[in-house]
Amino acid sequence: MILIALGANLVSRFGQPRETLEAALARLPVAGLRVAACSAWYATAPIPASDQPDYVNGVAAVETDLDAEATLAALHAIEAEFGRVRSVVNAPRVLDLDLIAYHDEVRATAPILPHPRMHERAFVLVPLADVAPAWTHPLLGRSVAELIAALPPGQAIRRLD
């Protein structure tokens, strides 16, 4: 299973963050990433806490013939197409597409897999539970439910209708 986290907290040419994420989701197949499932959308506060706007986040399971490097390159190309400018770490963004897992591959070099902080983030794990509730972290050997239960406090997340 290939898992992609989607997030946005700035208005883009596609509209509000949720509209941007829906446009990005629709763009994935053009890049060779067939969407098999997508979570609900969630509102989350930025991490680390800051005065920037809240994010809208979700997770998609995709299928592709691309390898992990090409998948990440495709995601970065979509971000750039949508107006993402990489400046400082944790900056607000019009679109963030993260490769969080590529099957059960474990890698210490780019792209690092699974994503090195995914197990610490409610904005990844809660939507992931929508898409793949039986998924197990290949390094930690823990289920999504176990990872959610172990999250540090203070990560408010709200499902959007």
pLDDT along the chain (161 residues), means of 10: 96 96 97 98 85 93 98 96 77 90 95 95 97 96 97 91 84
- Rounded to 5 degrees, φ, ψ at 35 are -80, 120
The number of folded domains in the chain is 1
Catalytic choice (93, 107, 142, 158): 93
Q: Is 51 one of the catalytic residues?
A: no
- 94: nearest Cα among 5, 13, 35, 27: 13
- pTM, to two decimals: 0.94
Predicted confidence at residue 65, as pLDDT, reads 97
Residue 121 a catalytic site member: no
Domain residues for the domain of 59 are 2-159
Residue that has been written with the tokens 């172990």 in this structure: 150
CATH number at 153 reads 3.30.70.560
- pLDDT recorded at residue 52: 84
Check: CB of residue 107 under 8 Å from CB of residue 68. yes
Set 96, 104, 117, 159: catalytic member: 96
104 has catalytic annotation: no
- In this prediction, residue 90 carries a pLDDT of 66
Instruction: Give the pLDDT confidence score for residue 93 in this predicted structure.
Output: 87
Selecting among 98, 104, 130, 159, the annotated active-site residue is: 98
Alpha helices in the chain (DSSP H): 17-27, 68-81, 122-131, 144-149
Would you state the pLDDT for residue 88?
66
Q: What pLDDT, on a 0 to 100 scale, did the predictor assign at position 153?
A: 85
Active site residue 84: yes
Please tell me the distance from the alpha carbon of residue 37 to that of residue 140, in angstroms, as a whole number: 24
Q: Centre a 10 Å sphere on the Cβ of residue 136 and count the other Cβ atoms it contains.
A: 14
Query: Exactly one of 18, 34, 65, 84 is catalytic; which is it?
Result: 84
Alpha-carbon span 63 to 52, nearest angstrom: 33
